[in-house]
A and B are shown apart, each in its own frame.
Chain A
Amino acid sequence: MPKQQANWSPYDNNGGTCVAIAGADYCVIAADTRMSTGYSILTRDYSKIIQLADKSVMASSGFQADVRALQKVLAARHLIYQHQHNKQMSCPAMAQLLSNTLYFKRFFPYYAFNVLGGLDSEGKGCVFTYDAVGSYERVGYSAQGSGATLITPFLDNQLKSPSPLLLPAKDAVTPLSEIEAIDLVKTCFASATERDIYTGDKVEMLVLNANGIRREVMELRKD
């Protein structure tokens, strides 16, 4: 009898799309609420977004079991940080923590494609985008997940911000107002839903600004 190979994979892809846009004094983080496996929909009402600190919100698509484990590790580390330092973690600090957490599973990666959004210590919007093993950079906007290849070119066209690497340095955050940015996000998801089978049902948007955090939900096509 020929040697049988194991064909069980520890990973699965639950699909979904996440987007984040940074503004001068706000940040929008959005994700759809559909969770799928293969061609089946497991649920239409699953949140991929978690608020890690009062100024840091993470949205993750990919394998939701790994995403949930990652969220728990980060929440626990943030709690310890609060006990040790008597303050909340800043968004750039949380960004590096997420990078290190992902890299420590370099040889058995979290199958999670993350985007972290929030406000930095000056109150400016910041968005950090990650790959699955922890490489990250601060950007003006980002999309991750199954609909990312559909949304990113659209955001490049609407929001194309000068690269932070240019010298003389130019600001990377979008000059759009908060309302315009939210409208743009809704447009992104409505369009991605049309052409990506894993994106749809509802889009959940969290908006962080100086006044706090606000949540908005919009219905999307359910087919």
Chain B
Amino acid sequence: MMKIDFSGLDPSMLVKGNAEGLDDEILAAPSFKLPVTVDFDGFQKAAVQMVKPAKGTTTLAFIFKDGVMVAADSRASMGGYISSQSVKKIIEINPYMLGTMAGGAADCQFWHRNLGIKCRLHELANKRRISVAGASKLLANILYSYRGMGLSVGTMIAGWDEKGPGLYYVDSEGGRLKGTRFSVGSGSPYAYGVLDSGYRFDLSVEEAAELARRAIYHATFRDGASGGVASVYHVGPSGWKKLSGDDVGELHYSYYPVEPTTVEQEMADVPIA
């Protein structure tokens, strides 16, 4: 039986047929150009030294009785230089799923955007939303296929699907872990300290938000690569909602207000002779 020839429907073929002289490269589906070198690894190391992509962070997420709480700082560093204090590290994949950014900023932004596209295509093809397990698996499989090429992604996919709240940790080594509490980034040891000691499954939404905020604050206090604004998001049955965005410098003084000491008061009272 003769196979049906679908080549006429292939979008790239359509264009090629019509326009001679149009650069195929520009119109073809984009793919990654690789450097022509025998030492790919050495080249990537040298390139990373030179371009110094933005990274460094603290992010955390945990499941509790009312859903998933997701929080992150907003600092990006290039080597020792703070390249930005207002990076969006909690990425809105779709109205009911969030991803966090840790590691290379461009890697996380790009692959989360790509994941959002794939999730939308899944919805259109299957007439139902993708599950958190499915979305995290899509991302993990992509990252695994680029394993060893120098991508730096440490992300958490948090969402609410038919099974309830879902939280997965996915990284650029190809790892994918299901869990109830995660913190990722250079400030994560500090955040874990606060998070683990204050965590209970039956926290209320306000208590959970305050726990998340404190954990990020303490991480920014001790880790030089974390800082800026502590953002807290809540994922519930009707989707995610941003609960707060507070400058950590101001949080410090609201948690530890400066008391005027008696010495200062005495000095203020001394009259000029």
Taken residue by residue from 58 to 78, chain B's Cβ proximity to chain A (1 for < 8 Å, 0 otherwise) reads as 000000000000000010101
Contact residues in A for B53 (Cβ distance below 8 Å): 131-133, 135
Contact residues in B for A136 (Cβ distance below 8 Å): 109
Contact A163 B85 (CB under 8 A): yes
Contact B26 A137 (CB under 8 A): no
Residue A166 lies at the interface, judged by CB distance under 8 Å to chain B: yes
Contact A133 B106 (CB under 8 A): yes
Residue A124 lies at the interface, judged by CB distance under 8 Å to chain B: no
Which residue of A103, A106, A163 contacts B74 across the interface (Cβ within 8 Å)? A163
Residue A111 lies at the interface, judged by CB distance under 8 Å to chain B: yes
Which residue of B33, B88, B247 contacts A105 across the interface (Cβ within 8 Å)? B33
Which residue of B27, B40, B46, B87 contacts A137 across the interface (Cβ within 8 Å)? B87
Residue B255 lies at the interface, judged by CB distance under 8 Å to chain A: no
Residue B150 lies at the interface, judged by CB distance under 8 Å to chain A: yes
Known: A135-B104, A166-B245, A167-B231. 18 other contacts (CB 8 A): A9-B46, A76-B23, A100-B30, A107-B150, A108-B33, A131-B51, A131-B53, A131-B83, A135-B105, A135-B106, A135-B109, A163-B229, A163-B247, A165-B74, A165-B88, A165-B229, A167-B242, A167-B244
Contact residues in B for A107 (Cβ distance below 8 Å): 32-35, 40, 44, 149-150
Given A131-B51, A134-B110, A139-B84 in contact, is the A104-B231 Cβ separation under 8 Å? no
Can you offer 23 A-B residue contacts whose CB atoms are under 8 A? A10-B35, A76-B23, A99-B106, A102-B106, A105-B32, A106-B32, A107-B34, A107-B44, A108-B47, A129-B84, A131-B78, A132-B52, A132-B53, A133-B51, A133-B107, A135-B109, A137-B87, A137-B88, A165-B88, A165-B231, A167-B231, A167-B242, A167-B243
Interface of A: prevailing SS: loop
- For residue B40, give the distance in angstroms from its CB to the closest CB of chain A: 8
Contact residues in B for A133 (Cβ distance below 8 Å): 51, 53, 104, 106-107
Interface of B: prevailing SS: mixed
- For residue B247, give the distance in angstroms from its CB to the closest CB of chain A: 7
Contact residues in A for B88 (Cβ distance below 8 Å): 137, 165
Which B residues, 21 to 59, have Cβ-Cβ distances below 8 Å to chain A?
23, 26-27, 30-35, 40, 43-44, 46-47, 50-54
Which A residues, 109 to 135, have Cβ-Cβ distances below 8 Å to chain B?
109, 111, 129, 131-135
Contact B245 A134 (CB under 8 A): no
Contact residues in A for B151 (Cβ distance below 8 Å): 106
A residues with CB within 8 A of B: 9-11, 73, 76-77, 80, 99-100, 102-109, 111, 129, 131-137, 139, 149, 163-167
Which residue of A80, A100, A108, A131 contacts B35 across the interface (Cβ within 8 Å)? A108
Contact residues in B for A164 (Cβ distance below 8 Å): 86
- For residue B209, give the distance in angstroms from its CB to the closest CB of chain A: 11
Given A134-B109, A135-B105, A136-B109 in contact, is the A165-B26 Cβ separation under 8 Å? no
- For residue A135, give the distance in angstroms from its CB to the closest CB of chain B: 4
Residue B253 lies at the interface, judged by CB distance under 8 Å to chain A: no
Contact A109 B110 (CB under 8 A): no
Task: Please name the residue on chain A nearest to B32 by beta carbon.
Answer: A107
Task: Please name the residue on chain B nearest to A140 by beta carbon.
Answer: B86
Name, among A133, A137, A166, the residue most crowded by chain B CB atoms within 10 Å (CB to CB): A133
Residue B246 lies at the interface, judged by CB distance under 8 Å to chain A: yes
Contact A73 B26 (CB under 8 A): yes
Determine the distance from Cα of A99 to Cα of B106 in the docked complex, in whole angstroms. Answer: 8
Contact B110 A100 (CB under 8 A): yes
5 smallest beta-carbon distances between A and B, as pairs: A135-B105, A132-B51, A135-B106, A167-B245, A133-B106
Contact residues in A for B246 (Cβ distance below 8 Å): 166-167
